[in-house]
Amino acid sequence: MCVLRYAPRPVPASRSRLVPAFSFLAFALLVAGAVVFWKVREANEAEARRRADAKHAEEERVRAEQLIARTREESKTLIPSILEGVVLGMSEEELQRLRPASVRDTRNPDRVLMFRKEDLRNGANVVYGFDRRAQRLVQVQVLSLLPAIGAMTPHLAAMNEQYGRPSGYWDCPDTGGVPTRRFTWRKSALTVMDVMLIFRGRVSLTLYIAPNMTIAASLQRARCRPVSAEDLERFPVATDEQMGQIDGPPEPP
């Protein structure tokens, strides 16, 4: 019986060399295509992020301008008349022209705020706080003294007449290491806060006018709590030990 056997035709040497070369080329093209795809995708994502960041920055700028406009208008009725013309939102140059007696406080290391200070003729001291980034006035503090504890009643009556009934009564055990009583008058964009430190029969006052969030943060840092009805007439009093090395009335942080 005759058996037929199939013998595969040999692949020419030149063709056998082309097969792996073609496979390598196809793989290289595939890799290159993938790289190009990811590069294009990354570029598109980067552009999208850039546009989103630019949009966010523009929205923040608009909100900041709106807040400055609101605080400027509202602060006109809140800042004491002795500082007539001073409004939150003004630039340092504007304040310097209006209050030429104010000088920069170069000793303060605050990273967020830059301060100017002024000594008033009535013995009070003013601290103007400017946001370093926005270069705008964002808070005002007026520090003064009452001659005796009995002067608190007419002082609070005058504050209520000017700002209305307080929106908050607070006992704050850690105002720079000493206890204080605070009264707040929360408005639309700003809050007025009156800080009382009683020591050796005298009362140090700090009138603090700033955006609502700034005052809220100050209350939190000083561990303030609402005053109960039974404690309303009992004001906290600082001891000699608590005062320690404090030179003058501490400013709210």
Q: Mind listing the domains of the chain with CATH numbers?
A: 72-243 (3.40.1000)
- Could you tell me if 185 and 192 are in contact, meaning their C-beta atoms sit under 8 angstroms apart? yes
Helices and strands counted in the chain (H then E): 5, 9
Spatial neighbors of 132 by CB under 8 A, at least 6 apart, are 111, 112, 113, 114
pTM (predicted TM-score)? 0.72
- At residue 1, does pLDDT exceed 70? no
Amino acid 8: pLDDT: 56
Amino acid 249: pLDDT: 46
41-68 per-position pLDDT tens digit: 888 888 888 888 787 767 766 666 676 7
- Could you tell me if 166 and 160 are in contact, meaning their C-beta atoms sit under 8 angstroms apart? yes
142-183 per-position pLDDT tens digit: 999 998 888 999 999 999 999 999 999 999 999 888 999 999
Give the separation between CA 96 and CA 138, rounded to whole angstroms.
15
Give the separation between CA 130 and CA 151, rounded to whole angstroms.
32
Assigned token pair, 217: 């943060």
SS3 state of residue 36: helix
63 sits in which H/E element: helix 13-75
Amino acid 186: pLDDT: 97
Backbone angles phi, psi at 73, to 5 degrees: -70, -45
Q: Which residues pair with 198 in a beta bridge?
A: 203, 237
Using alpha carbons, list the distances in angstroms from residue 249 to 60, 137, 179, 207, 240. Answer: 36, 22, 12, 12, 13
